[in-house]
Amino acid sequence: QKEVEQNSGPLSVPEGAIASLNCTYSDRGSQSFFWYRQYSGKSPELIMFIYSNGDKEDGRFTAQLNKASQYVSLLIRDSQPSDSATYLCARTGDYKLSFGAGTTVTVRA
């Protein structure tokens, strides 16, 4: 079983819509969760992190964590063409960050 699983996509959404990305993880000892955005040919850049159950909002982004279900999601509101990228979900229980393979999002103008 993979440590972190994401749908590879592509997820295509129209401009202005909400993009919803899902991630599940296998290790119940996971403590911290991160969402990174990676543009083609570039390195990952941090969007958000979340430690506690519930929602965390930052601008157009909302991360949701449900530790009982071992599920973390990312919502992108008012999607823009510049949001087109691969989104990486990651978890850690110590210093070792385990990544999913990423979900590719395409925002249609």
Partner 1 sequence: ETGVTQTPRHLVMGMTNKKSLKCEQHLGHNAMYWYKQSAKKPLELMFVYSLEERVENNSVPSRFSPECPNSSHLFLHLHTLQPEDSALYLCASSQGARPVDTQYFGPGTRLTVL
Q: What is the DSSP string of 88-106?
A: EEEEESSS--EE---EEEE
Region 40-79 residues binding partner 1, contact defined as CB under 8 A: 42-46, 49, 51
Q: Contact at 8 Å (CB) between 58 and 48?
A: yes
Rounded distance, CA 98 to CA 101, Å? 10
In the bound state with partner 1, the residue whose beta carbon lies nearer, of 5 and 17, is 5
Residue 4 near partner 1 by CB under 8 A: yes
Site of interaction with partner 1 (CB under 8 A): 2, 4, 8, 31-32, 34, 36, 42-46, 49, 51, 88, 90, 92-102
